[in-house]
Structure 1
Amino acid sequence: MIRAIGPRLRGLLLPLLALAAAEAAMRASGAQSDAFARPTEILRAMWTAAQDGSLAAASAQTLGNALLGLAAGGGIGLVLGLWFGASSRAGRWSALTVNLLRPLPSVALVPIAMLAFGFGYRMESAVVAFTCVWPMLMFAQDGVARVEPRLVEVARVLGLGGIRRAWKIVLPAALPRIFVGLRLSLGIALTIAVTTEIIANPMGLGYGLAMAQQSLNPALMLALVIWIGVLGWAANAGLLWLQARLFARRGVRA
C-alpha cells in the first residue's frame, strides 16, 4: 500500500505520524506549557491569523523587505563579482577587503542601520542587502573564473569589445553559478529579515513571533515558525523549478 503512494507523499508520512503522536500524547497527559502547543492548536492559530489578515500583512512586509535587500545587495555583489572575476588585478586588490567584511555578522550592523535609517523597511533592507552582497559576489566571481579561456579568445578574434564579450560569452557561461548564489542569497535574505524584525524592527513575521512569545501564546508562535519555514521552502522550490527550466535543456549543471 505504501509503495502505491507517490514518493513526495511518502515523505509526509513520518512528519504526519509524529504530529499525530504528539497530539495524542499531549491530550493524554493534559499538560499545559508556555513553550509548546498541540498541533491542532497550532493549526487553529494559523487559520485565525490567515482569516483576520494579519498573517498575509506580516508575510508581505517580511518578504518585501527581504526581496528589496536581495535586489540591492545581490545586484551590487553580482556587478563586483563579475568585475573581480574578469580582472585578476581587481580580484587581488579586493581580496583583503572582501575577507575582512564578509565574516562580519549582519546583526552587528542593526544598531548602525537604526541610527542611519530609523525603524522601518529601509533599516531592515539595508541589513539584508549587506548580507546578500557576499554570496552573490563569491559565486559570480567563481562563475567568471570557470569560463573556458578558449571562448574568450574566440571572442577577441571575432573583434567583440569588452561589454559585448561579457554579455555574449562571460555572463551566459557564469550564469549557472550565479543562479546558485541567488538561491543561497534568497534563503539568507529571509533569515536576516526575520532576525532583524525579532530584535529591532516592529514589523513583519519576526515581530509577530516575538510578540507571540512575550504574550505566552505558544500556538501562534509555533504557527509563525512553521509558516516562515513554508515560505522558505516555497521560495527555494520556485527557484529550483526555474533553474531546471533554464539549464536542464542546455545540459548545464549549476
Structure 2
Amino acid sequence: MTERRLLRWLRPWVFPALLVGAFEWYARRAAALGSDALAPPSAAARAFMGAALDGSLWQATGFTLGTAALGLLLGAVLGIALGLVLGLSRRAAQLGSLSIEVLRPVPSVALIPLAMLTFGFGVRMELAIVAFATFWPLLVLVQSAVQQIEPRLLEVSRVLGLSARERAFKIVLPAIVPRLFVALRLGVAVALVVAVTVEIAANPNGMGYAMMIAQQSFDPALMLAWLGWIGVVGFAVNAGMVLLQRVVARRMGVLP
C-alpha cells in the first residue's frame, strides 16, 4: 500500500520533471552555441535563492498578493451583492442587462491609462483595475447560480416570512455554495493575472515589475525564476481556495 501511495503521489510530477529536464538540456545547448537569451532551470533556481535571501522575492510577492487580494475582495463583494439582486429580481436583471453587456467586454488593461490619470502609480491604480476585472465574472456567475435555485426553496422562504437578508443568508447562499466557490476560484486566477499584467505594463511594484526589470537587465535566469515563482504562487492560491471550499461546504452542510 505504501508503494502504491508513493507512486500515486509521484505520478503527476513525472511530466513536469521531463519538461524541466528537456528545457535544461536545450538551454545548455543554446548557451554552448553562444546564445544568452535563455537560462537553464538550474541557473533560475540559483537566481531564485538569491532573490529569496536578499528579501526582494518576499517584498514583491507580498505587494502583488496584497493588491490582488484587496482588489478581489472589492470586486467580489460588489459582484456577489449585485449578482444576488439581479438573480432574485427579474425586473432588476432586465434593467441592468444593457449596461452589463456593454461594460463587461471592456478589457481591464484598457483601463490602465484612465486609472493612471485618476490614481497615479501605486496600490490604488492596480487595485481599481483588479476590482474591475474580477467584478464581472463574479456578477455573471452568481446571477446565473441564483437563477437556477429550485423555485420551491424561494417559495418556502416567502411562506416563512423571511426578510430579504434572511432569505439571502439562509436560503440563497447555502444553495449556491459550490457554484459560488467556482466563481471565487475564477476570480482569484483573474486577480493574480491582472495584477501581474498591470505591474508589467505600468506599476513599478510587485512580481510583474521585478520580472520586467530582470528582462531589461538581460538576466534570463532571474526572469525565468520570477516566471516559475508566479506559477507556484498561483498554484498555491488555487489549492488554498479548494481547501477553503471544502471547509465552508462542510460547515454549511453541503458536504458530509
TM-score by length of 2: 0.92
Hey, what's the Cα distance between the residues in 1 that align with 2:87 and 2:165?
Answer: 14
The residue that corresponds to 2:52 in the other structure is 50
Please state which structure has a larger fraction of its residues in helix: 2
Hey, what's the Cα distance between the residues in 2 that align with 1:86 and 1:77?
Answer: 14
After TM superposition, list the pairs within 5 Å mapping 1:92-171 onto structure 2.
Answer: 92-171=94-173
Q: Is the 8 A contact 2:86 2:92 kept in 1?
A: yes
The residue that corresponds to 1:13 in the other structure is 14
Hey, what's the Cα distance between the residues in 1 that align with 2:35 and 2:239?
Answer: 34
After TM superposition, list the pairs within 5 Å mapping 1:135-214 onto structure 2.
Answer: 135-214=137-216
* Residue aligned with 2:127, SS: helix
The residue that corresponds to 1:218 in the other structure is 220
Q: Give the unaligned 5+ runs of structure 2.
A: none
Hey, what's the Cα distance between the residues in 2 that align with 1:237 and 1:4?
Answer: 20
Q: How many residues align?
A: 252
RMSD (CA atoms): 1.9
Q: Deviations over 1:197-225 (max 9, x none)?
A: 00100000000011111111000001101
Q: Give the unaligned 5+ runs of structure 1.
A: none
Amino-acid identity (%): 52
* Residue aligned with 2:176, SS: helix
Return closer, same or farther for 1:145/1:116 CA change in 2, 3 Å cut-off. same
Report deviation, 1:139.
1.4
Return closer, same or farther for 1:217/1:161 CA change in 2, 3 Å cut-off. same
Hey, what's the Cα distance between the residues in 1 that align with 2:232 and 2:161?
Answer: 50
After TM superposition, list the pairs within 5 Å mapping 1:15-94 onto structure 2.
Answer: 15-27=16-28, 30-94=32-96
* Residue aligned with 1:6, SS: helix
Q: Is the 8 A contact 2:28 2:39 kept in 1?
A: no
Return closer, same or farther for 1:99/1:28 CA change in 2, 3 Å cut-off. closer
Give the counterpart letter for 2:99 in structure 1.
T
Give the counterpart letter for 1:182 in structure 2.
L
Report deviation, 1:180.
1.0
Hey, what's the Cα distance between the residues in 2 that align with 1:3 and 1:171?
Answer: 40
Return closer, same or farther for 1:25/1:171 CA change in 2, 3 Å cut-off. closer
Q: Is the 8 A contact 1:120 1:203 kept in 2?
A: yes
Hey, what's the Cα distance between the residues in 1 that align with 2:47 and 2:104?
Answer: 39
Give the counterpart letter for 1:177 in structure 2.
R
Hey, what's the Cα distance between the residues in 1 that align with 2:252 and 2:33?
Answer: 57
Hey, what's the Cα distance between the residues in 1 that align with 2:27 and 2:178?
Answer: 48
Report deviation, 1:163.
2.1
Give the counterpart letter for 2:204 in structure 1.
P
Hey, what's the Cα distance between the residues in 2 that align with 1:28 and 1:137?
Answer: 49
Of stretches 242-251 and 33-42 in structure 1, the one that deviates more from structure 2 is 242-251
